[in-house]
Amino acid sequence: MEFLIVIASIIFAVFAGSNILYLLNCKGRPLHIAAAVCVSYCMGVGFISLEMFLLYLLKIKFDIMVIILPWLFVLALNVFLMLRKNRNSSEISIKFHPIKNIKPNIVSVFLSLGIMLEVFYAFFRALIKPMESYDAVAIYAIKSKIFFLAKSIPQDYFSWIAGHFPHPDYPLNIPLFKSFIYIWLGSLNDQLVKIIFPLYFVSCLVILCFAVRRFASRNYSLAFTFILASMPQFNSYAANAYLDLPLACYLFISAVCLFDWFRDKTDIRSLILSAIMAALAGWTKNEGLMYCAAYAFVIFLNVVFSRAGNILKKAVCFTVYIFIILVILAPWFFIRNEYHLVNTDLGSINLDPIYLLKQLHRMAPIMYEFQKQVVGPKKWNIFWIAALAALLLNFKKAFRSDLKMVSITLALIICGYVYFYIASPLEIHYFLSKTWSRFLIQFLPICVYWLAMILREDVKT
């Protein structure tokens, strides 16, 4: 019975996200129902947790009907718009091409079975035991339990309680959604609540599959989906209740929508969806803020250097992108600033240029750790070796046409991590050993997508 209640709470999250997606009503060809459900799930989780955070600011207790009621009004609005415009409610779309019905062949069947096996294994490992990893328990789970037992975020939480736990500055997207599931259950269940993590895993795979399917065959898209699903490090984070994989999912959806906008500047709704997902990434982990900055900077570069399109319209799009992110994150920024929430490990990063120059000696251990991940097949199979080889063999191609913006985005992201390691006050060897393999997860789906794009003319599709 508890399992069915948890499933019902997940379905409600999909319902909430699908209503927002329908309100956006993105132009373009219809999004496949599987991709629509995955985008809706990710968006629903983020907006339900944001709603709960606003309830805290309004000093309203968490109650299941209080949380559900606003979404019924959104549903009513969508029904009104649907009837008014005489549109089919199933036409939820973003810039993905529809998938033709093609008879399966032995390769697609084999790859599909492999992906399903990896998915089943992720759910199995996630649900056979409660949360046990340190960060999952000490940083995230404890917060969700406090919120559930208090039926709110306690009013003294940020001023006193948060200081007794690690990383009080960490965003509350997943902890609040866990509390939402607990409210549906009426009790705490560390085991069933872990279902949200393999669902993010599935969402990444589905979005990747349909994103690649836009420009390649079914076998080709399934092959790259299997590559992502079968990477041990990526798969293991679908079960350990860390937030790197949910963050990766938000970042990947945001990136794909942003790249769509680069291809078609009239597709403003894809840009809006990208901004929403980037903001939800910042609401999930602090690293998401770096990606918000990277995506915004790539748009800025496009506004300044691209000759295609009206520069004024592109400048407006850049402003809208920043505005959406700031509006979504404004309540959390307000609380962080109001209560001076800082990272207990990092504190304030020193941005003084002289200090950064003195820290350049850190590049040696940084590069050493990077190469360990590239040539180490234990966690990543041979993916990073293949990606590096593809870059070296197709360097000019990587910075031409539609691949250019993807490559620049990835370069900015990697530079951001390097800058972060150089500026960090932590002991560099310890910091790298504890974080880099996790940080790689965060942009891994974008890298797989990039590799599929760069090899599309070299591999028969």
Most confident option among 31-40, 154-163, 220-229: 220-229
How many CA atoms lie within 13 Å of 408's alpha carbon, on the beta-carbon side?
A: 19
Q: Which residue has the tokens 């209560």?
A: 339
Query: How many Å apart are CA 448 and CA 204, to the nearest integer?
Result: 11
pLDDT band (50, 70, 90) for residue 95: very low
Q: What is the pLDDT of residue 424?
A: 85
Structure tokens at 330: 């404004």
Residue 459 has pLDDT above 70, yes or no: no
Using an 8 Å Cβ cutoff, are 455 and 412 in contact? no
Residue 318 has pLDDT above 70, yes or no: yes
Residue 289 has pLDDT above 50, yes or no: yes
Residue 60 has pLDDT above 50, yes or no: yes
Closest CA to 245 of 228, 224, 259, 225: 228
**Alpha helices by DSSP H, 158-243:** 173-185, 196-213, 218-229, 232-236
Q: What is the pLDDT of residue 28?
A: 47
Backbone angles phi, psi at 256, to 5 degrees: -60, -45
Q: What is the pLDDT of residue 94?
A: 45
Using an 8 Å Cβ cutoff, are 225 and 36 in contact? no
**454 pairs with which residues across the strands?**
none
Structure tokens at 367: 């590069």
Query: How many Å apart are CA 430 and CA 438, to the nearest integer?
Result: 14
pLDDT band (50, 70, 90) for residue 30: low
Most confident option among 133-137, 226-230, 266-270: 226-230
Closest CA to 243 of 191, 289, 194, 181: 194
Q: What is the pLDDT of residue 101?
A: 58
Model confidence over 117-148: pLDDT tens digits? 999 999 999 999 888 888 888 889 999 999 99
User: What CA dihedral angle connects 354, 359, 360 and 362, to 10 degrees?
Assistant: -170
Residue 338 has pLDDT above 60, yes or no: yes
Q: What is the pLDDT of residue 313?
A: 86
Query: How many Å apart are CA 15 and CA 33, to the nearest integer?
Result: 13
**Alpha helices by DSSP H, 214-307:** 218-229, 232-236, 244-263, 268-282, 287-305
Query: How many Å apart are CA 367 and CA 370, to the nearest integer?
Result: 5
Q: What is the pLDDT of residue 355?
A: 81
Closest CA to 254 of 227, 280, 230: 280
Helix axes 106-127 and 196-213, enclosed angle (nearest 10): 160
Residue 392 has pLDDT above 80, yes or no: yes
Q: What is the pLDDT of residue 100?
A: 55
Q: What is the pLDDT of residue 33?
A: 86
Please report the sign of the dihedral spanned by the C-alpha atoms of residue 11, residue 16, residue 21, residue 22: positive
- Decide which of 428 and 41 is more confident: 41
Q: What is the pLDDT of residue 267?
A: 83
Mean predicted confidence (pLDDT) in 388-396: 93
Most confident option among 10-24, 129-143, 344-358: 10-24
Residue 97 has pLDDT above 60, yes or no: no
Q: What is the pLDDT of residue 40?
A: 96
Looking at every residue in the chain, the average pLDDT score rounds to: 89
Query: How many Å apart are CA 268 and CA 321, to the nearest integer?
Result: 10
Q: What is the pLDDT of residue 402?
A: 79
pLDDT band (50, 70, 90) for residue 354: confident
Q: Which residue has the tokens 């940084």?
A: 366
Domain parsing of the chain, residue ranges: 352-461
Structure tokens at 59: 């000093």
Listing DSSP states for 302-322 in one string gives: HHHH--SS-HHHHHHHHHHHH
Using an 8 Å Cβ cutoff, are 363 and 432 in contact? no
